Homo-oligomer: A and B are copies of this chain.
Amino acid sequence: MKIVECVPNFSEGRDIEKINRIMDVVKTDEHIKLVNYESDADYNRTVVTLIGDPNHMINLILKMVEVCLKEIDLNKHSGEHARMGAIDVIPFIPISDITMKECISYSEKCAELIYEKYDIPCFLYAEAARFEDRKSLPSIRKGEFEGMKDKIKDPHWLPDFGKQEIHPTFGCIGVGARDFLVAYNIDIATEDESPAKKMARTIRKSSGGFQYVQAGPVYLENRKHTQVTMNILNYKKNPIYRIFETIKMEAKRYHVEVTGAEIVGLVPKDALVRSLKYYYACNNLEFPESISLKEVVQDVKKYMLFRDFDETKIIDYFL
C-alpha cells in the first residue's frame, strides 16, 4: 500500500477559532491520518503532518485549500515565518512503497487541480522543480506574499500552473516532492539576535556552511529568547548532533548559552539514532542493537537538550 507523508502549513497560528475551523476539515477526513499539528503564535503559522494514500491526500489538500481561502486573508497577516500563500507549501514525501518519481507526479496533479478549482497559481519546487532556481522554496518565495504580486509578472517567474497573477487574498503555493526534512531549532539564551544570526551563517549552505542546511536567526517574542532555526534537507549527511555541536562551539565566542532544542513536526527515528550513536561513542557506551522509542526520547533530551518532545514526534510511532 502506497503511503506518502504530506506536511502542508497554513498561515494562521494565533486565532484558535480559525485554526479549529480549518483543522476540522482535516480531523473529519476518513482516509488520511492526522499525525499532528502545531500552531506557533510567533511564526503565526500552523504545520500539519499527514500520512496516507496519495490520491486521498490530494483530495484532503483540496479541501484544505478551500477552507483556508475562506478563513485567511494574507493582506492582514504578519509573523516571523516567511510565507507567500495562505497555504504556503505542500510537499509530498515518499514513506512506504512509493518512489520519488511517483511523488513528483502526485505533486503535479495536486498543483494542477488547485489551479483549476481555485485559480491559485502554483510553483513546482524541490524534486518536482522544472527550473534550477525553483529547487529551493526560499528562492521562489523571496519577496513573500507582498513581493510576489510583482515578481509573478516577471516572465522568469511564470508559475508552473496558473496565470501571472497571485490570488488577491490567498497568494500562491509551492507544491513539490522531497525527501524527509528535519525542521530543527536551537535555543540561544539571549534576546540579542546578533549571535544567532552569526551562528546561522556558519552552518548554512548559502554562506559556506553545511551542504544540506538552511538556517536563519529568529527572536521568539513569547519565549523571550532567540533561536537558530533551520531545515536539515539531508539528515544522513548533515546529522543533527554535528549541527548542535557546531552551534555550541560557536556559542562559546559570544558567551551565550545553548539551553535547548526542538523539532518542528516529525523526525524519523533513524535521524535520532544516527546522532545518539555519536554521544554513545564519545561516552564509551555500546549502542544497543535495538532501542525503544521511549529510550530514544530520554537520550535526545539528555544529550541534545530536546524540549517539548515525546514519542509521538517520531514518525515510526505511526507506522
Contact = CB atoms under 8 A, between A and B. Distances in A.
B207 A252 contact: no
A282 B255 CA distance: 7
Interface stretch (A15-23, A76-84, A209-217): A209-217
A246 interface: yes
B210 A209 contact: yes
Interface in A234-281: 234, 237-238, 242, 245-246, 249-250, 252-255, 277-278, 281
Contact of A209 (B202, B211, B278): B211
Given A242-B202, A252-B282, A208 B211 contact: yes
A205 interface: yes
Contacts of A211: 205, 208-209, 211
| Count of this chain's copies in the oligomeric assembly | 2
Interface residues of A, number: 25
Contacts of A282: 252-253
Interface in A123-156: none
A277 B253 CA distance: 9
Interface string A221-239: 0000000000000100110
A284 B254 CA distance: 10
Nearest to A238: B208
Contacts of A238: 208
B245 A207 contact: no
Contacts of A212: 208
Contacts of A250: 242
Contacts of A284: 255
A255 B285 CA distance: 12
